[in-house]
Amino acid sequence: MAKKIIPLLSEMFSSGNKPEYLFWVGCAGSFDDRAKKVTLAFVKILQELEINFAVLGNEEKCTGDPARRAGNEFLFQMTAQQNVMTLQMYEVKKIITTCPHCFNILKNEYPVLGLNQVEVIHHSEFLAHMIATGKLKASGGELDGKKVTYHDSCFLGRANQVYEAPRQVLEELHVQVHEMQRAKSQGLCCGAGGAQMFKEDEKGDKRINTERAEEVIETQADIVAANCPFCITMLQDGLKSENDKRTQPIMVLDLSEMIVQSNKW
């Protein structure tokens, strides 16, 4: 089957078309090899559902979130204001993103810079809505009956109180959900937050992602479901030593990847 072309917002806008959604891909989803797999899986879902969407392509800049978290407010302001001007120029009304960091900053911090009357949606919320309205099916397939634990991203969970939508998607997948000891509002950070992803380790007895990986192992799960490119990277890294000893490694998957697998798309 021929690959479907992902439409650019600039091309659609110039021809007089306005997509319902802008898919904000994010830096990780654009450049990180692991996160690009999530981007492709989510695009596949959007195309299968015949959702009217587009991407900014080269016009999409980093949201500035890492710069602001690391304390470089000047760089954040320059980057964010450029993004706001682009979004206003294209009269964007709805944004979907697979990254909780992009989701949080676009939704909660960009309005101060002028991004108003724009609905920002994390893809876990979008997927849950599509399932609830009967537009998206995920019968389980090869994932049916698998033991799954869910890792709450800090910026999706505690920062924005999105706890149930991802779990509703897992329920549709017919997997056995085994919660970690620290979950939902008590969930443990993967260790990447606050720009820690880009820093050298600080002094301590254990890496945060190692401790989180130990909690994953305790659940005896086959799969860790996560909804953040940074969480996926940190969890995979934390589970590496355990997976090296296993014939069947513990997989770390985004919800969109699990839906694509279940539907065999």
Residue-level pLDDT, tens digit, the chain, 265 residues: 446 789 999 999 999 999 999 999 999 999 999 999 999 999 999 999 999 999 999 999 999 999 999 899 999 999 999 999 999 999 999 999 999 999 999 999 999 999 999 999 999 999 999 999 999 998 768 898 999 999 999 999 999 999 999 999 999 999 999 999 999 999 999 988 766 777 777 788 889 999 999 999 999 999 999 999 999 999 999 999 999 999 999 999 999 999 999 998 8
Rounded to 10 degrees, the C-alpha dihedral 207/209/210/212 comes to 130
The rounded distance, in Å, linking the Cα atoms of 80 and 97 is 16
CA distance between the termini of the chain: 11
Query: Residue 141's pLDDT is what?
Result: 80
Domains of the chain: 9-127 (3.40.50), 137-263 (3.40.50)
Query: Residue 12's pLDDT is what?
Result: 96
Query: Residue 1's pLDDT is what?
Result: 44
Contact partners, residue 195, CB within 8 Å, separation at least 6: 66, 69, 70
Neighbours of 58 (CB within 10 A): 9
Query: Residue 44's pLDDT is what?
Result: 97
pTM: predicted TM-score of the whole model, two decimal places? 0.94
The rounded distance, in Å, linking the Cα atoms of 55 and 6 is 7
Q: What is the pLDDT of residues 155-179, one digit of tens each?
A: 999 999 999 999 999 999 999 999 9
Query: CA angle 177-180-181, nearest 5°?
Result: 140
Nearest CA-CA partner of 120 in 158, 197, 63, 170? 63
* 126 token code pair: 């979008």
Cβ–Cβ under 8 Å, residues 148 and 223:
yes
| DSSP assignment string, the chain | -PPPPPPBHHHHHHTT---SEEEE-HHHHHH-HHHHHHHHHHHHHHHHTT--EEB-GGG----SHHHHHTT-HHHHHHHHHHHHHHHHHTT--EEEES-HHHHHHHHHTGGGGT--S-EEEEHHHHHHHHHHTTS-----GGGTT-EEEEPPPTTTTTTT---HHHHHHHHHTT-EE---SS-GGGPPP-S-TTTGGGSPPPSSSS-HHHHHHHHHHHTT-SEEEE--HHHHHHHHHHHHHHHTT-SSPPEEEEHHHHHHHHHT-
